[in-house]
Structure 1
Amino acid sequence: MGACWTNSSLNPCFKDCGGERGMHDGHCFCDLKPFIAQRRKVLSLPSAGDVVDIYQREFLALRDRLHAAEQESLKRSKELNLVLEEIKRAISEKQALRDINRTWSSLSDETKLKLWNITNKNVLHLPTIFHHLPHLLSKENSLQPAVHVGQGRTGVSVVMGIPSVKREVHSYLTDTLNSLISELTQQEKEDSVIVVLIAETDPQYTAGVAENIKNLFPKEIHSGLLEVISPSPHFYPDFSHLRESFGDPKERVRWRTKQNLDYCFLMMYAQSKGIYYVQLEDDIVAKPNYLSTMKNFALQQPSEEWMILEFSQLGFIGKMFKSLDLSLIVEFILMFYKDKPIDWLLDHILWVKVCNPEKDAKHCDRQKANLRIRFKPSLFQHVGTHSSLAGKIQKLKDKDFGKQALRKEHVNPPAEVSTSLKTYQHFTLEKAYLREDFFWAFTPTAGDFIRFRFFKPLRIERFFFRSGNIEHPEDKLFNTTVEVLPFDSLQSDKEALQEGRGSVVKYRRTPDGYIQIGSFSKGVAEGEVDPSFGPLEAIRLSIQTDSPVWIILSEIFIKKAE
């Protein structure tokens, strides 16, 4: 409530307050509610100036939005122009590349190589595959597989490479794959890769073979065990101008030259997949336990100097290499792929590495024997009779494949071998233990020994030793005992030396702690090892009397307890 004051006592409420008038205690008052409501109505209606201001602000905001949209449109327009320029440039470059390729293809291989070296930014120009195969520069994808089936598995222990070509009469490829795969355990299947190279350039043929393998071995393809590749049609050079050599006709020279390139392509593809690479062929069968036998044989080599481990005596079958050596081998083969067949080139690599030109051939052979080591008996047999060389019939058989030395393929447990006998030439005890060769020594005398000391104590189930061989059947061990050295001598004394409750001695102990458990009879010693001996440190063959002849130890079989 508000009040209106006046000095007139006659008419104190003469002034219109815009409300109801009245007097109270000599004061004039009026009710302002109607007045306030009316003023509110007046204030709620904007004036003309206010309307102009509102429209101006909205117009400015609209102008700003239009300006921003225009800027965004210009930005998008520039981006579209850039994209169009890139498309035009790509089309132009593609057309230019076609023109260059047409010009490039008309150049000689020597000119291409010179241009490639000139445009290379490096000061030093290292040799590459293009120096040996300059035609590869003509096509961008000449080193990419035309067919590539599989999971690309890497990080395995063993990679097996199988080159396969079209044969006029019969293909052995699927039989070979069945043999290799069927002899693998599940663990071995997870730690290996089989790579089939279809070494043909006919796309219809390679696609057909790949599809057939996929249909026959879907599980192996899906798991990563089996892969199928074929080279680009542009990988191979022109074979029409090869020089005939070594009395071979032109067709055979072409065949062996292409074969060298097939091996190189396969090795280049496989070298990053595993620790070891094994070269096989597409017309073989494998023995049981072949993969573990190869792997264990490689791991038990006393030195890393070896370059080739041979598990077959035929051709290029069953040859194991360290993957780290494949680059060197491929480079060497590429340098001379037109000149000699693969087996000769491999032998030349060994000659270059270890042979002294001032020494004789026998010295060279001994040196190469340290790099090229043979495993017996063979793990693979050649079964094909129709060669990949058209019209050629071959009945090659590995004579060592059927030999059942030590009853089945076996690798002795890791051990340090030693002997007091004088070794004859290169027929060492180490090679005999690793089953590479037999041990041959000069005439033994009483007290001589042959010892196998295990790297860690092992429980041994049984043993088998054979002396003499077919060529020298009389070079046998006579009056020789088989002795073991238990790791826990006290326990073996308590459990094994006494028979029952009596005092009968079951085994005889030597002064230096060995226990005699067997002896040679007719050149052979075999038997089981008493499990009560526990883990053994060593096994020893002790010669008790002088011998009138040299000795050969042809078989060594020491089976570790399961």
Structure 2
Amino acid sequence: MASQRNLKITVVVFLVTYTLLQLQLMQSKDRMSASSVQHLHNHAILTAAPSVTEGTKEQTRLLDHSTQQMDSTTAMNVPIQRTHCGGNVTLLLGHQRQNRGFLTIGLCTVPRSKASYLKDTLHSLVTRMSEADKKRVVIVVFMGYHNESIAEETLRMIKSNFNHSLVTGGLQVVQPDIGIYPNFSKITRKTFNDTLQRVHRRTKQNIDFAYLFGYCEGISDYYLHVEDDVVAATGYISDIETSLSTQERLQNQWFVLEFGGGFFGKLFRSRDLCMMKTYLLLFQVEKPGDLLLSDLKLIKLHDSKKVKNGKKLFKHSGTYSSLEGKIVKDKTAKKKLPRENPLPTTTEKIYISRLTSNPDAKIETSMKTFLNFTPESAYEINNTVYFWAAAPHASDYYRVILKTPVLSSRVTIRTGAPVTGKDRLDFAEIFINRNFTRGGMCRNQMPLGKLSYGKFEHKFLVPEKIKCLEILVTHGQKSWVIISQIEIET
């Protein structure tokens, strides 16, 4: 009875939350429709600019200090209130364009103790788009901190290196009111086995993302979320447009297009940003932002498989994380990739990293899937989550059945969380077969080997024909299982 009562409570909470989000989305659409009528009446499409508040005394003093010797790069201090979604954010540098653009690129930046990558990130974003693109793309830097000396140093760096972008309105620097943050010492509940430090850090990050989304809601038609330590591929704007055209031509339903891992390189429609702000603030303490995004996919599309991915256009460039003491190892730093090959992201800050595409296949498993960590997640390219299942039993399987047999040069399997190694699969054998499968079974299987510390890699001396790949559990285990990566290289 107690379990049924808990289930009912969970369902009610989910339905209430979903209803609130849908109401928020409807209000956002209504505002857009009303503003479109007014814009047509004025014979111009004006930007539904985010609101700018007076901010705190510290922000006002910082703003006054930054206006010296700036002329046209200075933002207007008068609040512009056109939507309710962009409040509690102050524009420090740059100015708001009058015309609605094609794309807004938003990023949050926070201090790192040993290095800063913001300059390189902005240089990459600005220089790797065309001059024509610069007229319809706006970059918004969200300074998620209130340290006066560091903030002044950041503003000086941006003014001295990106003055032209500030003058043309292609770059804006904003800062939130300090009052948007809760008293983190009162957040004492741990989730996902994280330390309180990590819970507080990811909660703040969710809040930063939320207010950045709100500020950027009306600037452009689309919004691209990146981080302050990434490198963009040359011509990334045209690649994004090509992907959008493909989705439109195929009449695909999509909520987010993914051009990177984790929570960077994600493209949304700007009309969804206000709803996303509300969602992140509602569940700011519960989960990291990328997992909240995965949940939101299911709410929006009712089927995570409908989410279409783009190719990777961004990779991490930094070594030192914004989380104190954490070092991010970029394993692709020494690899030179041709331009036509999407930039890979192999870093411990995200769940999955791959360099190849996988052939089309059907995925089957007897293991019990946890939430939306679906079996396909381990096999799909550019996915930001993994396959997560309850503790397996002997004879459980994970099976990849290719639509068309391929000649493979290598098979790679990774289990367990990439950073901690937890929830790895300890006892399993790997099989392949060359022939057509009937009745859902992989017949005439050929053993390739066993997992070793949760990992497996096999190189064929001569490319081997594969129709089916199977991971067969040989002994049960008490811990759950994560399968984070499966590659069939051709």
Contact 1:381 1:397 in 2 (8 A): no
Match of 1:161 in 2: 106
Q: How does 1:292-311 map to 2 (within 5 A)?
A: 292-301=238-247, 302-311=250-259
Match of 1:312 in 2: 260
Q: CA deviation at 1:322?
A: 1.0
> SS of 2:180's equivalent?
coil
Match of 1:91 in 2: none
Match of 2:306 in 1: 370
Partner residue of 2:184 out of 225, 233, 239: 239
Contact 2:408 2:466 in 1 (8 A): no
Quote the RMSD (CA, aligned, Å).
Answer: 4.0
Which structure has more helix as a fraction of its residues?
Answer: 1
Contact 2:124 2:232 in 1 (8 A): yes
Contact 1:381 1:398 in 2 (8 A): no
> SS of 2:284's equivalent?
coil
Match of 1:328 in 2: 275
Q: Say if 1:323 and 1:304 are closer, same or farther in 2 by CA, change over 3 A.
A: farther
Partner residue of 2:123 out of 178, 184, 190: 178
Q: What is the identity, as a one-letter code, of the residue corresponding to 2:362? A: Q
Q: Deviations over 1:203-251 (max 9, x none)?
A: 4432331232112111111011111111112221211111332322221
Q: What is the identity, as a one-letter code, of the residue corresponding to 2:328? A: Q
Contact 1:308 1:321 in 2 (8 A): yes
Q: Deviations over 1:453-494 (max 9, x none)?
A: xxxxxxxxxxxxx9877559999xxxxxxxxxxxxxxxxxxx
Q: CA deviation at 1:441?
A: 3.2
Match of 1:425 in 2: 362
Q: CA deviation at 1:337?
A: 0.3
Contact 2:259 2:382 in 1 (8 A): no
Give the Cα–Cα distance (whole angstroms) in 1 for the partners of residues 281 and 228 of structure 2: 23
Does residue 220 of the first structure (1) align with residue 157 of the second (2)? no
Give the Cα–Cα distance (whole angstroms) in 1 for the partners of residues 402 and 235 of structure 2: 29
Q: Say if 1:326 and 1:470 are closer, same or farther in 2 by CA, change over 3 A.
A: farther
Q: What is the identity, as a one-letter code, of the residue corresponding to 2:297? A: L
Contact 2:24 2:275 in 1 (8 A): no
Match of 1:286 in 2: 232
Q: CA deviation at 1:385?
A: 1.2
Partner residue of 1:387 out of 314, 321, 324: 321
> SS of 1:300's equivalent?
helix
Report sequence identity in percent.
Answer: 30
Partner residue of 2:88 out of 144, 153, 160: 144
Contact 1:161 1:194 in 2 (8 A): yes
Q: Deviations over 1:296-339 (max 9, x none)?
A: 212210235211111113x1111111111212222211110011
Does residue 352 of the first structure (1) align with residue 314 of the second (2)? no
Contact 2:255 2:301 in 1 (8 A): no
Q: CA deviation at 1:140?
A: 8.3
Q: Say if 1:298 and 1:470 are closer, same or farther in 2 by CA, change over 3 A.
A: farther
Higher gyration radius (CA) = 1
Q: What is the identity, as a one-letter code, of the residue corresponding to 1:425? A: K
Give the Cα–Cα distance (whole angstroms) in 2 for the partners of residues 240 and 310 of structure 1: 35
Q: CA deviation at 1:145?
A: 2.6
Q: How does 1:30-45 map to 2 (within 5 A)?
A: none
Give the Cα–Cα distance (whole angstroms) in 1 for the partners of residues 361 and 241 of structure 2: 29
Gap runs ≥5 in structure 1: 1-125, 129-138, 356-366, 410-422, 427-434, 444-465, 476-522, 524-547, 556-562
TM-score (norm 1): 0.46
Give the Cα–Cα distance (whole angstroms) in 2 for the partners of residues 273 and 157 of structure 1: 9
Contact 1:383 1:397 in 2 (8 A): no
Q: Say if 1:178 and 1:202 are closer, same or farther in 2 by CA, change over 3 A.
A: same
Q: What is the identity, as a one-letter code, of the residue corresponding to 1:386? A: Y
Q: Say if 1:177 and 1:263 are closer, same or farther in 2 by CA, change over 3 A.
A: same
TM-score (norm 2): 0.53
Contact 1:316 1:343 in 2 (8 A): yes
Match of 1:277 in 2: 223
Highest RCO, 1 vs 2 (Cα 8 Å, sep ≥ 6): 2
> SS of 2:89's equivalent?
coil
Contact 1:267 1:326 in 2 (8 A): yes
Q: Say if 1:549 and 1:279 are closer, same or farther in 2 by CA, change over 3 A.
A: closer
Contact 1:382 1:398 in 2 (8 A): no
